[in-house]
Amino acid sequence: MSTLAAVPRSIWEMAGITEHLGGPEGTRRLLALCGMHPGERVLDVGCGTGHTAVMLVRDYGVRLVALDCLAVNTAATRRRVDKQCLLRDPRVTRADGHNMPFADGEFDLVIAESVLAFCRAADVLAEFRRILRPGGVVGLNEMTLLQSPPRELEEILQITFGIHAQEANGWRRLLAEAGFDQLRDDVRRFSLREQARSHRQVDGLGGYVQAMTKGLANLRLSRVFLSRTMLGAWRRFLPLIGYGLYAARRAP
């Protein structure tokens, strides 16, 4: 039996830590893969604290709905949106990606950055298919294992962090089975330098250090993160961890 401890979701919630691998530059590359147009109806599922939401409205001029299942994140997104005084106000809503309050075919594009790995991915993709118009596009950024993972890594990701990461072929297969085609993807290795740059861009260094300090001040979290087992595991396993950008079309 595994002795790994789970990090309760409430701790992430309290710390207000949400991010995706590749940061805002990864988002721009994902949106380029999706081939988006101004004025399109776009849904950002698992919007976290709303950095991508603001970028979508401000830089791409889309009609946006930002959705997250946690009230703390929809509130943070709302605050970020209000602070930016955007010309077009996005709708921010709280709902579960497995069962969303939207009509069939309501969106041109659905994106999810670092969300499906925390969900029942096949069910969420079926829901994306339902709410996309025929020919609409799904764009994912998901943790992607660069080779078949040792059992220890799988257990750390799943038990401690609740992450069900896949190899690239796993994500491609899930998309195909959910009824998406014309897949384009871009898979890269995780880079600490890229991630540090992303934190500075999203919340400023001060904001991120503040969130991390708040998180690590929680004894349960710091016991997991700073344990010798975890630090050793990261050193060994980091080269196996990457992220994939996947864009695919809802097959007619």
Ligand X SMILES: C[S@@+](CC[C@H](N)C(=O)[O-])C[C@H]1O[C@@H](n2cnc3c(N)ncnc32)[C@H](O)[C@@H]1O
Q: How far is the CB of 59 from ligand X (least distance, A)?
A: 16
Which residues ranging from 78 to 107 are in contact with ligand X (CB under 6 A)? 96-98
Q: What is the DSSP string of 183-228?
A: EEEEEEE--HHHHHHHHHHHHHHHHHHHHHHHHHTSHHHHHHHTSH
Q: Which amino acid is at 144?
A: T
Would you count residue 116 as binding ligand X (CB under 6 A)?
A: no
Q: How far is the CB of 178 from ligand X (least distance, A)?
A: 16
Please compute Rg for the chain using Cα positions: 18
Would you count residue 18 as binding ligand X (CB under 6 A)?
A: yes
Q: Which is nearer to ligand X, 4 or 45 (CB)?
A: 45
Would you count residue 68 as binding ligand X (CB under 6 A)?
A: yes
Q: How far is the CB of 20 from ligand X (least distance, A)?
A: 3
Which residues ranging from 37 to 66 are in contact with ligand X (CB under 6 A)? 45-48
Q: Which residues pair with 166 in a beta bridge?
A: 144
Q: How far is the CB of 39 from ligand X (least distance, A)?
A: 23
Segment near ligand X (CB under 6 A); pick from 54-62, 69-77, 146-154, 227-235: 69-77
Q: Which is nearer to ligand X, 140 or 248 (CB)?
A: 140
Pair 128, 138: CB distance under 8 Å: yes
Q: Which is nearer to ligand X, 10 or 182 (CB)?
A: 10
The half-sphere exposure of 64 on its side-chain side, counting CA atoms within 13 A, is 31
Distance CA 222, CA 158 (A): 18
Pair 136, 107: CB distance under 8 Å: yes
Q: Which is nearer to ligand X, 81 or 150 (CB)?
A: 81
Among 15, 115, 174, 241, binds ligand X (CB under 6 A): 115
Among 109, 119, 241, 245, binds ligand X (CB under 6 A): 119
Would you count residue 20 as binding ligand X (CB under 6 A)?
A: yes
Among 70, 168, 187, 212, binds ligand X (CB under 6 A): 70
Would you count residue 118 as binding ligand X (CB under 6 A)?
A: yes
Q: Kind of pairing, strands 166-167 and 241-250?
A: unpaired
Pair 116, 207: CB distance under 8 Å: no
Helix H, strand E, coil C: the string for 108-146 is EEEEEECCHHHCCHHHHHHHHHHHEEEEEEEEEEEEEEC
Among 40, 108, 113, 203, binds ligand X (CB under 6 A): 113
Q: Which pair of structure tokens corresponds to residue 206? A: 């001060």
Q: How far is the CB of 150 from ligand X (least distance, A)?
A: 23
- Of 89, 102, 160, nearest to 130 by C-alpha is 102
Q: Which is nearer to ligand X, 80 or 249 (CB)?
A: 80
Interacting residue ranges for ligand X, rule: CB under 6 A: 18-20, 45-48, 68-70, 73, 96-98, 113-115, 118-119
